[in-house]
């Protein structure tokens, strides 16, 4: 792991801008984050929309943790649409944090704090009990081993309230993908759901007791209370995919 005290140990991302979007990259082949310039708080990549489907299972959180800032897509969305949620974001790469203004990440306030740190240290050492924890901690090499170990997922569970939920962005083609899935299931005693995103490159893990208590019911999806119509229209396909996977898993159990 790079020395967190030395910024030179971290790869600098670059920004690629088109007429309508701005994207953060570590390499031209892979997008880390993408923002619609005219709607900076919208979720432009499907995996981020899929991650927000935790709202199907648990109420809007009072305290949310995020590991990985990237272009701030999830932080901005939650800050905009979840006005009663306090958000703590931990990002290890100082060069990523330095781009927060370019990606319209709001300044820190009473509801949003972005700090530099190691995500594994954060979940191990936090005294807070989180309602929801989002883990999207990719770097230029992909998923850091420190953020997908058994100890890390065990610490994630310990950092959550009893009815809290962990949401993890996994790389589906990772050679140890099946091992990562097994570790999450072990940490949460099997209370986990894994759903591929609409772009077929990521799998989102949802883990926590809320999966049982908040089981989506058959029928038409209902818009979560904090979302406006436009946000719900954009999120509905991803939420429908997650709800369908949850019902299928329940039927197969």
Question: What is the three-class DSSP state of 86?
Answer: strand
Question: What is the three-class DSSP state of 30?
Answer: strand
- Which backbone phi and psi does 20 adopt, to 5 degrees? -115, -10
User: Which candidate, 80, 133, 71, places its Cα nearest to that of 103?
Assistant: 71
DSSP 9: G
* Lowest-confidence segment of 8-12, 20-24, 99-103, 192-196 by average pLDDT: 8-12
Contact 11, 139 (CB under 8 A): yes
Q: Encode pLDDT of 44-56 as tens digits.
A: 999 999 999 999 9
Number of helices (H), then strands (E), belonging to the chain: the values are: 8, 10
Owner of token pair 């309602």: 131
Per-residue b/e over 195-208, b at no fewer than 16 CB within 10 Å?
bbbeeeebbbbbbb
- For residue 15, the cross-strand partners are 24
User: Which candidate, 197, 204, 243, places its Cα nearest to that of 220?
Assistant: 243
CA dihedral 112, 82, 192, 175 (to 10 degrees): -50
pLDDT top residue among 40 and 200:
40
The residues that are catalytic are 136
Q: How far apart are CA 1 and CA 156, in angstroms?
A: 20
Question: Taking all residues of the chain, what is their mean pLDDT, rounded to a whole number?
Answer: 88
Q: Encode pLDDT of 158-204 as tens digits.
A: 999 999 999 999 989 889 999 999 999 999 999 999 999 877 689 99
Instruction: Note the CATH architecture for domain 44-215+225-252.
Output: 3-Layer(aba) Sandwich (3.40)
What per-residue confidence (pLDDT) applies to 7?
Answer: 67
Q: Encode pLDDT of 55-100 as tens digits.
A: 999 999 999 999 999 889 999 999 999 999 999 999 999 999 999 9
Q: Where along the chain do its domains lie?
A: 44-215+225-252
Residue 78, number of CB atoms within 10 A of its CB: 25
pLDDT top residue among 72 and 138:
72
Beta strands in 150-229 (DSSP E): 160-171, 192-196, 202-207
pLDDT of 3 higher than 60: no
């Amino acid at each position: 792991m790079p020395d967190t005290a030395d910024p030179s140990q971290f790869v600098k991302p670059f920004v690629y801008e088109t007429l309508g979007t701005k994207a953060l990259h570590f390499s031209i082949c892979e997008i880390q984050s993408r923002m619609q310039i005219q709607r900076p708080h919208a979720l432009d990549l499907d995996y981020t929309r899929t991650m927000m489907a935790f709202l199907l299972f648990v109420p809007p959180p009072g305290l949310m943790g995020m590991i990985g800032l990237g272009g701030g897509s999830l932080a901005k969305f939650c800050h905009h649409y979840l006005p009663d949620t306090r958000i703590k974001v931990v990002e290890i790469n100082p060069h990523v944090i330095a781009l927060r203004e370019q990606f319209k990440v709001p300044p820190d306030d009473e509801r949003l704090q972005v700090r530099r740190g190691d995500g594994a240290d954060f979940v191990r050492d936090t005294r807070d009990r989180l309602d929801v924890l989002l883990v999207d901690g990719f770097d230029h090499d992909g998923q850091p081993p420190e953020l997908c170990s058994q100890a890390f997922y065990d610490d994630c569970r310990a950092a959550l309230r009893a009815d809290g939920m962990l949401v993890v962005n996994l790389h589906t083609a990772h050679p140890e993908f099946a091992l990562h899935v097994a570790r999450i299931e072990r940490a949460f005693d099997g209370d986990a759901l894994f759903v591929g995103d609409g772009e077929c490159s990521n799998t989102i893990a949802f883990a926590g007791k809320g999966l049982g208590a908040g089981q989506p019911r058959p029928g038409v999806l209902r818009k979560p209370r904090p979302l406006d119509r436009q946000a719900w229209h954009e999120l509905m396909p991803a939420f429908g995919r997650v709800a369908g996977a949850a019902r299928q898993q329940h039927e197969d159990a």
